[in-house]
Amino acid sequence: MAFLKELSLVKNNFLSGIDVLSRRAAQISAEIQQGERRSYNEVLDLSSGDLHRGGIKPITFVRQVLAACFYPALLEDDSLPLDVKQRAESLLRECDGGSVGSYTDSSGMAKVKRCVSQFITSRDGGVPSSPDNIFIKSGSQTALMIMLKLLIRSTDSCRTGVLIPVPTYASFSLALEEQGAAIIPYYLCEEQGWMLQVEELRRALQSARKTCNPAALYICNPGNPTGHIQSRKSIEEVIRFAAEEKLVILADEVYQSCVYGDNTEFYSYKKVLSEMGSTISSTVELASFHSVSKGFMGECGFRGGYVELVNIDPEVKEHASRLFSTRSCPPVVGQIALDLMTDPPKPGDPSFPTFSEEVQSIKNTICKNTGRIQEVISELPGVSCQPLKAGFFIFPSLYFPPKAIKWAEKREMEPDFLYCLHLLEETGLHARPGCEYRQREDSHHIRLFVGTRENVMEDALQRLKTFHVRFMKEFS
């Protein structure tokens, strides 16, 4: 009865469908543990971008340094490599009282900010980065929310507008709505590999100016949920557009280390901006975000992320600094993880062989999974998918028969939500429906996480294949 009540709330938009799916997945898992017999013995959760939940092992170097920081007696343990001990000691010297339980500066430890700025400079081929422009918070999303608070003026008679891609992840849309922003959707071109087209940005902007004051352009590159990545040319075009329209660029680049497409390379917005000539490179305002939650580390629970501000007016930057300082310091564990992400072991370090082997193993697993997913998807009727190039997700398009559309309309629900619900009930595979991501009208998708063990992925794909073939046959 409780589950039926939740479904009625979905109809009336009081509760998001994804919350219902997550709760139902938890209920099914509990029922199986209590002895209820089903055609499957466990729920396979491919709904979130959590590597460790997917069975990927944490990086040894990261956990060893953290263990020594939390329990310094381990520094006397001969089993820990020398570089692990040295890193832990250097981090503990930055903590008041030599303890990770102490407060730090509200914008983050000075050592970690230096580490982040050096990482950015190295990543971008020598483009300077100053620790003064780095703000560390409890995840990149927290930093992004503070930037939105800085940009959005709720007291204006005309609301502040933010351009966002469609599809995009739900939590960002909700955050914009909560802060009173006007959402300006621009549609990525699925037929061309989810390409970001400046013509579409211009259309969206011109239409929005009738009802709001556009102030910022949000970019997710590499993309979530689409798995696309922008070319250098595309980034240059977007930057020129932002310069013409005087828009602040919010570049969410948390998947920058997750690039595996053939002939594909990640270019940061900052690097491209720096090479576009002084008229643009010194004027376009940019905030770029990164996190320890994504990439090969996958330390979602540590809550560590940063934003780097570029070309922000000094007075605005001062106000931003105050906003970032209004909350207590970011979790120290997240700051340590950022330090380790931006300054990993190097060739010659005792931990380097194990570290490089573990990172390569994770990348190989993701590459194999993406290849296998695309192989299976290509065999399914009524399904198509753009080539995967980056990120942690696949976002195939589903073409439902008219009978299935009517079936969903009768229940006043989105077809891909009901598809995911029945997929979960009948096979125990938990995926996310495309309707969560503000997809184009009359289009339908599902999102699947690719960062899990290969045997789990194979099991998930066989469940999906069996269900989908039966579903299409029933509604054909």
How sure is the predictor about 8, in pLDDT bands with cuts at 50, 70 and 90?
very low
Q: Which SS3 state, helix, strand or coil, does residue 249 take?
A: strand
The 10s digit of each residue's pLDDT in 430-464 is 999 999 999 999 999 999 999 999 999 999 999 99
CB 227, CB 259: distance < 8 Å: no
Segment 120-144 mean pLDDT: 93
Among 5-14, 43-52, 157-166, name the one with the lowest average pLDDT.
5-14
Measured distance CA(52)–CA(72) in Å, rounded: 25
Please name the residues in contact with 93: beta carbons below 8 A apart, sequence gap of 6 or more. Answer: none
pTM of the model: 0.93
Measured distance CA(88)–CA(351) in Å, rounded: 13
Question: Which residue shows structure tokens 């269900």?
Answer: 467
The 10s digit of each residue's pLDDT in 190-230 is 999 999 999 999 999 999 998 999 999 999 999 999 999 99
By C-alpha distance, which of 268, 346, 260, 338 is closest to 306?
338
> What's the pLDDT score for residue 5?
43
CB 258, CB 294: distance < 8 Å: yes
Residue 275 in this model has a pLDDT that exceeds 50: yes
CB 386, CB 226: distance < 8 Å: yes
Measured distance CA(56)–CA(49) in Å, rounded: 12
Q: What is the longest distance spanned by two Cα atoms in the chain? A: 69
* The two three-digit tokens of residue 426, written as one number: 């009948």
Among 132-141, 231-240, 267-276, name the one with the lowest average pLDDT.
132-141
Question: Which residue shows structure tokens 């005087």?
Answer: 246
Task: Specify the DSSP class assigned to residue 414.
Answer: -
Pick the CATH number of 103-342 from 3.10.129.10, 3.40.640.10, 3.40.50.300, 3.40.50.920: 3.40.640.10
Name the residue with higher pLDDT: 169 or 270: 270
The 10s digit of each residue's pLDDT in 420-433 is 999 999 999 999 99
* The two three-digit tokens of residue 295, written as one number: 């990439």
Measured distance CA(177)–CA(56) in Å, rounded: 34
Q: How remote is the C-alpha of 201 from its chain's centroid?
A: 22
Strand order from edge to edge, sheet including 182-187? 134-137, 305-310, 286-291, 248-252, 213-220, 160-166, 182-187
* CA pseudo-torsion sign 371, 369, 234, 192: positive
Residue 225 preceded by cis peptide, ω within 30:
yes
What percent of the chain stands above pLDDT 70? 95
How sure is the predictor about 154, in pLDDT bands with cuts at 50, 70 and 90?
low
How sure is the predictor about 7, in pLDDT bands with cuts at 50, 70 and 90?
low
Measured distance CA(60)–CA(452) in Å, rounded: 18
Backbone angles phi, psi at 364, to 5 degrees: -65, -40
Which residue intervals of the chain bear CATH 3.40.640.10?
103-342
Partners of 306 in the β-ladder: 136, 290
Question: Which residue shows structure tokens 């992320």?
Answer: 305
CB 22, CB 321: distance < 8 Å: no
Measured distance CA(362)–CA(296) in Å, rounded: 7
Helix, strand, coil abundance in the chain, percent, nearest 5: 50, 15, 40
Segment 405-409 mean pLDDT: 95
Backbone angles phi, psi at 49, to 5 degrees: -90, 55
CB 163, CB 202: distance < 8 Å: no
Q: Could you give the C-alpha distances from 366 to 330, 390, 449, 452, in angstroms and in order?
A: 30, 10, 10, 8
> What's the pLDDT score for residue 283?
96
CB 283, CB 243: distance < 8 Å: yes
* The two three-digit tokens of residue 129, written as one number: 């980065």
Please name the residues in contact with 288: beta carbons below 8 A apart, sequence gap of 6 or more. Answer: 251, 253, 268, 269, 270, 307, 308, 310
> What's the pLDDT score for residue 155?
59
* The two three-digit tokens of residue 412, written as one number: 């006043």
Q: Which amino acid is at 364?
A: N
Which residue intervals of the chain bear CATH 3.90.1150.10?
2-55+360-475
Measured distance CA(240)–CA(277) in Å, rounded: 11
Instruction: Give the number of other CB atoms < 10 A from CB of residue 192.
Output: 11
Mean pLDDT (the chain, rounded): 92
Please name the residues in contact with 242: beta carbons below 8 A apart, sequence gap of 6 or more. Answer: 217, 248, 249, 284
Q: How remote is the C-alpha of 21 from its chain's centroid?
A: 20
Backbone angles phi, psi at 289, to 5 degrees: -125, 145
Segment 241-251 mean pLDDT: 97
Q: Which SS3 state, helix, strand or coil, does residue 155 take?
A: coil
SS3 per residue for 194-208 = CECCHHHHHHHHHHH
Measured distance CA(145)–CA(289) in Å, rounded: 11
Q: How remote is the C-alpha of 33 from its chain's centroid?
A: 31
Task: Specify the DSSP class assigned to residue 138.
Answer: S
In a 13 Å sphere around the CA of 277, the CA atoms on its Cβ side amount to: 6
Pick the CATH number of 2-55+360-475 from 3.40.50.300, 3.90.1150.10, 3.40.630.10, 6.10.140.120: 3.90.1150.10
Residue 3 in this model has a pLDDT that exceeds 70: no
> What's the pLDDT score for residue 401?
95
